[in-house]
Amino acid sequence: MQTVRVASYETPLEAELARAYLGSHGIECRLSDDLLVGTALLYQYALGGVKLHVAAEDESKARFLLLGYHSRTQRAPHVETPEERVTRAWKAAIVGFFLLVGVVHLYSLWLLLRTPYVSLGKRSRRRLWLTVWIDLVGIGIAALLVRGLIVGASAAGGSGESAELPIESAELPIAPRAAALSSAPVWSAV
């Protein structure tokens, strides 16, 4: 029996769903490269994905059915509303105090700059301005931390060496227990 490739898919799951759809309409089909792509996803582009094969006499019917199947399975991508974007910026600003102070706040401000202010409701506008203030405080703290690191490095000599503190050459007394432990054997035969 001569087979013809009618479609190819990125993942074995998508290909298996299409195979089951054609099978429910009475068309015998098989998959190729599904195990290899399922095991090593990097091969999906090198091999052209998982291929769906049908008998040559069922090719036109299978292509027609797959056109209807693909049009039903494709969804419009989710478009983020301005309120959702403000909420995401708010969450990023709060998380920014615990992880990467300053960097996450810059990301949060970038989200807010992309948000149309006019289309926001009263509550979202309040949250937007509160988020701006939180971001500015976070960026200020990050600037102070960086300034402290720079000043600390210049106080150490500026050459990357650590500052040496003067230590007197007097011997420090060893605690009696520490002295006893230091003279004990580390390993003994059983």
Terminal Cα-to-Cα distance of the chain (whole angstroms): 76
Question: Domain map of the chain by residue range?
Answer: 3-73, 82-155
Q: Give me the pLDDT at residue 4, please.
A: 92
pLDDT band at 40 (very low <50, low <70, confident <90, very high): confident
- Kindly report whether the global pTM for this prediction surpasses the value 0.85: no
The secondary structure element, H or E, covering residue 110 is helix 103-113
pLDDT in tens, 142-187: 999 888 888 887 776 655 555 555 555 555 555 555 555 555 555 5
Architecture of domain 3-73: 2-Layer Sandwich (3.30)
| 8 Å CB contact between 55 and 28 | yes
CA angle 144, 147, 150 (to 5 degrees): 155
